[in-house]
Structure 1
């Protein structure tokens, strides 16, 4: 009998990813969706919350938006980055930040501790905000967070805003938007057409400055599903944390979200939620 037989097997250390995002109380989107996505893809997920979003069933399910204090956000990031060094934690996914104060706090922390992979889901407008506040938040996000991103996943509305285009009506427009966003940010772009573009397929466009690829899958209904955008960006982040190339991460994320939309969860809310376990 070998003298080594009682030695414990080498422990597998999962890749780690941090999401900086809001909490969404019905579980379909935000940090809840991100953490479920990380877990499903075999990544150890940690979260720093930026705000609390709770839909209001008494007011047509509109957003109730409560930002967290900037110091509380800074404290969470300090703890996360102290617990996991740059070699352990090199991938960050950013979701809803929500206010210029939050954006400034997060930008400062990320500049002090750069990450190899910084995946930005550029949530520009929170429906619970006044238009003036929303525009100030948009400007802060574009000026302070977008330049730090290595990968950005704008939806149809966000692609319009970031690209400065008048309209995105078809795949050719979406390609142009992706290329424009890459030109201003230097980040790899996965521009989401989703159900917004006419036709039988949900189409997203990947562009990294060299490769331009259309990722397409048959639409699953014509209604947007809560958590699809969050989960797509989180899946990209999870794959990058595991060492995948950016195009492979985009393809895997697209498959993951398509499966999650097919397996979506309905509730008494007027929208369905993506189920991250759909890939099983």
Structure 2
């Protein structure tokens, strides 16, 4: 079995972060491992508090996995401080995994800032250049390039600017723009649009984590970058279409809908 490692924060509500990543890995057929960078006290409505994990323990977690278990792909999520970014970047430079999927998590669905302002420059200088692909949404991309994105032409220009920061490829998610939530993949040579349909649901907690983890899982299994994004886009669309009405805020996606359906298990809420 192929493997994937998530380096991210923990979500006590189970819809995003480490919990979503491991569910996404399992649903996409790879063995999941984790390095926890922060513990968040959150649910479908809010992030109440955040406790960063000591950077020495973050480093030890990474080394413990790589020194024992083959890692076919890495997904990176919440890295809240410059020191955490540097710790993770240094460890990945040591082990040089083949595939690194960077989801530049900045703000929670409820508006809580998960990436400190002073860590943005560290992310740009130390982490983005290591990425096989980075997967920002529109607001995250705007912060990274320092300009607003309103149109598809703006998305194309933003992808080019983001790739100039060092990532081999960029998947810019278009869900924050009006109209269809179309995503744009740019690999330095070609642009590829992945069309989507607007799904009327408030239950979208953890969609970014889930998508980036699905991309990592498919890269781990040997798919091309294009096919990995295509398969992940299909997976997250199904998970959102059958999202779960849990809690009083933004409920989670349904990570295992297709597996349950194939097994004949009713899993609608």
Q: Could you say whether these structures have the same fold, taking a TM-score greater than 0.5 normalized by the shorter chain as the test? A: yes
Contact 2:75 2:103 in 1 (8 A): yes
**1:191-202 mapped onto 2 (5 Å cutoff):** 191-194=172-175, 196-199=176-179, 201-202=180-181
- Which residues in structure 2 correspond to 1:1-280 (within 5 Å)? 14-55=1-42, 61-84=46-69, 88-125=70-107, 128=112, 134-165=116-147, 167-194=148-175, 196-199=176-179, 201-221=180-200, 223=202, 225-280=204-259
Q: Structure 1 186/61 Cα, relative in aligned 2: closer, same or farther at 3 Å?
A: closer
Change (3 A) 1:163 1:223: farther
Unaligned 5+ segments in structure 2 are 260-269
Structure 1 pair 221–56 and aligned structure 2 pair: CA distance change class (3 A): closer
Residues 267 and 105 (structure 1 numbering): CA distance in 2 closer, same or farther, change over 3 Å?
same
RMSD: 1.9
Q: Distance in 2 between matches of 1:97 and 1:279?
A: 31
Q: Tell me the distance in 1 between the aligned counterparts of 2:41 and 2:102.
A: 22
Decide which moves more: 242-251 or 183-192.
183-192
The number of aligned residues is 257
The answer (yes or no) to whether the contact 1:56–1:64 under 8 Å persists in 2 is: no
TM-score of the pair, normalised by structure 2? 0.90
Q: Measure the CA separation in 2 of the matches of 1:65 and 1:21.
A: 13
2:102 and 2:128 in contact (8 A); partners too: yes
C-alpha distance in 1 between matches for 2:46 and 2:248: 7
Which aligned segments of 4 or more residues in structure 1 are displaced greater than 6 angstroms? Answer: none
Shift of 1:231: 0.7
The Cα of 1:278 is off from its aligned counterpart by 2.8
Superposed CA offset, 1:128-147 (max 9, x none): 559xx821111111111111
CA contact (8 A) 1:124 1:137 kept: no
Q: CA deviation at 1:222?
A: 6.4
Distance 1:134 1:222 in 2: 29
Q: Contact between 2:128 and 2:165, CA under 8 Å: does it hold in 1?
A: no
SS in 2 for 1:270: coil
Rg comparison, structure with higher value: 1
| Structure 1 portions without partners, runs of 5+ | 1-13
Q: Deviations over 1:74-112 (max 9, x none)?
A: 11111101112xxx3131110001112211211111111
TM-score normalised per structure 1: 0.86
Q: Deviations over 1:144-196 (max 9, x none)?
A: 1111111100011111122332x2112221122112211222421110011x1
